[in-house]
Amino acid sequence: MSNKVLITNKQKKVKIPSGLRILIRRSCNAVLEFEGFEQPAEISVTFVDNAEIQTLNAQYRGKDMPTDVLSFPLGEDGKYDVDQDTGACLLGDIVISMEKAMEQAELYGHPLQREVAFLTVHSMLHLLGYDHEQGGLAAVKMREKEEAVLIQLGLPRTVSYTADQI
């Protein structure tokens, strides 16, 4: 089974480290494997700058400020559109602000790669229907899954994140 992760860089503020695209693909695959997702899947990941993610955040979430990552799930209740040519489930889009990822990596004292892997894993769980917006048990479960996948990727948490990075 092969998953397709389409990665596009639409920003020039942060140089994309070598190996980052491979790490993103590994992160997406690790979440799908962890969740027992059986069908082939297609995911799109786009790197943007703070200005672009702020525009998207304002447009889709009514929050006029930059954020680190946005997830645009295409499925609902575990049902996904399927690409007729490939048979892949279209899970959705992940948009990462590389500027914000760099700021957070510096803030938490870990490499940019670790931050981007975390944001990818976090977003992948959103694409699969997990949510932390209400807090409580759902947020705790999501955090535990993120942690388990990051450990599998060899990237255990080096810091304790706040309950949510707004």
Each domain of the chain, given as residue ranges in start order, spans 4-152
pTM of the predicted protein model: 0.92
Binding annotation for Zn(2+): 122, 126, 132
pLDDT band, very low/low/confident/very high, at 1 (cuts 50, 70, 90): low
Instruction: Note whether 49 and 143 are within 8 A (CB).
Output: no
> What CATH fold (topology level) applies to the domain 4-152?
Collagenase (Catalytic Domain) (3.40.390)
Q: Check residues 162 and 130 and name the one with the higher pLDDT.
A: 130
Q: In this predicted structure, what is the pLDDT of residue 158?
A: 62
Binding annotation: 122, 126, 132
Mean pLDDT, rounded, for 92-114? 96
Q: Nearest Cα to 28, choosing from 93, 87, 76?
A: 93
Mean pLDDT, rounded, for 39-68? 97
